[in-house]
Amino acid sequence: MPPVSRHPLTRALVTRTPLARGIIDRFVAGPSDTDAIAAVAGLADLGLLATVDLLGEDITRAQDAADTLLAYLGLLDLADRAGIAAGLDVSVKLSALGQAVPRDGRKLSYENAAELCARAAAANATVTLDMEDHTTTDSTLDTLVELRRDFPFVGAVLQAQLLRTETDCRDLATAGSRVRLCKGAYREPSAVAYQGRPAVAAAYARCLGILLTGSGYPMIATHDPALLNLAGRFAEHVGRLPATFEYQLLYGVRPGEQRRLASTGATVRVYVPYGADCVPYLTRRLVERPTNLLLAARALRSRAWDAAGLGLWAGLGLWAGLGRGGPGTRRAWDYGRAWDAAGLGLWAGLGRGLVGRGTERATGRSRARGDRTGDGSGRA
């Protein structure tokens, strides 16, 4: 079974079901650069900064990497003309700029990234190199070092779940160094990563302490209430001024918390993804990390998520029942394959639930016309 983000059924459910667009619209700014700019402008009206990410990865052709670069340059041009480029950050994966292109991928991705950084510098914007799975960490950090020779504003991303990250935090917590700390959105083996939510949260807290006591510019990327509270208290304890660090939260997730943090005087930046290739991003954020799925459910508060939950667990049960050796053997419970099946169940549930929600609304309106004494049970 291919990864759920690349499964044809997943793509069909997400991209061809009209009502499922509500999920995409919540967490993705839209398919075009004009959608991204509109989202950035809307956030600015709320006192929030933005980092914009053109969705797309796993590029293996030089022409596709060139197309991605042109799209980013066009985004910066559009932001410049709209008067919102200054202070804007651009997040980019080196794989999207050609890192995985055979033979010259690393050189190609560096050259493309350097051209993007030059355009960002001209617009008073910044660039942050997104981190991917652990196999690319060294090459990404090597490229970061090279880019910073000419563009010291280039930001790094570190994933707290990796065993190596505390050391990387110490290396990067230097003057002027922008470092985004996230938990990590990729499934990683126990040989290189902490396993389980408590262990990852503890690792995040340790890394946070290293960055906040260093001389760099920490970018605290988490939605975990306990870690957000810890970050605020620790920053105050070590005398960090609000202008010397920032919080980063995902577009569409806990918008009330984003505004609350900003109202305290904190610098808050929202990670705004856009582009047509949204399925891998949504799957990684909402399926392969169950905690993000719960955040999404709380954010939407939709009955569609009830059906999605049933689909999720049905997918898990289906895989366990049909997997190798049956549900009674240990080897059948392979987490990666289980989540692949769960992902298909999730998207199927979303589609079913959202269709049901539309039907329920229509039925509710019909009932309301004939019975004005009801309790509103027909509303979603």
Average pLDDT score over residue span 49-64: 92
User: What is the DSSP secondary-structure string of 79-107?
Assistant: HHHHT--TT-EEEEEGGGGTTTSTTTHHH
**How far is Cα 207 from Cα 227, in angstroms, rounded to an integer?**
11
> Model confidence over 243-257: pLDDT tens digits?
999 999 999 889 999
Beta carbons within 8 Å of 225's beta carbon, 6+ residues apart: none
pLDDT value at residue 334: 46
* The amino acid at 24: I
Q: Looking at the predicted structure, is the pLDDT value of residue 149 above 90?
A: yes
Sign of CA dihedral 320, 322, 323, 328: positive
pLDDT value at residue 322: 41
**How far is Cα 94 from Cα 380, in angstroms, rounded to an integer?**
42
For the annotated catalytic residues, the residue numbers are 130, 180
* The amino acid at 254: R
**How far is Cα 111 from Cα 105, in angstroms, rounded to an integer?**
10
Per-residue tokens: 168: 């990387």
> Model confidence over 188-243: pLDDT tens digits?
999 999 999 999 999 999 999 999 999 999 999 999 999 999 999 999 999 999 99
Question: What pTM value is reported for the model?
Answer: 0.77
* The amino acid at 41: A
Q: Which of 47-61, 70-84, 184-198 has the highest mean pLDDT?
A: 70-84
**How far is Cα 138 from Cα 142, in angstroms, rounded to an integer?**
6
**Distances, alpha carbon 241 to alpha carbons 84, 218, 246, 265, in Å:** 25, 12, 10, 10
Q: Please give the share of the chain, as a percent, with pLDDT higher than 70.
A: 67
Q: Any idea which of 136-145, 176-185, 277-286, 339-348 has the lowest mean pLDDT?
A: 339-348
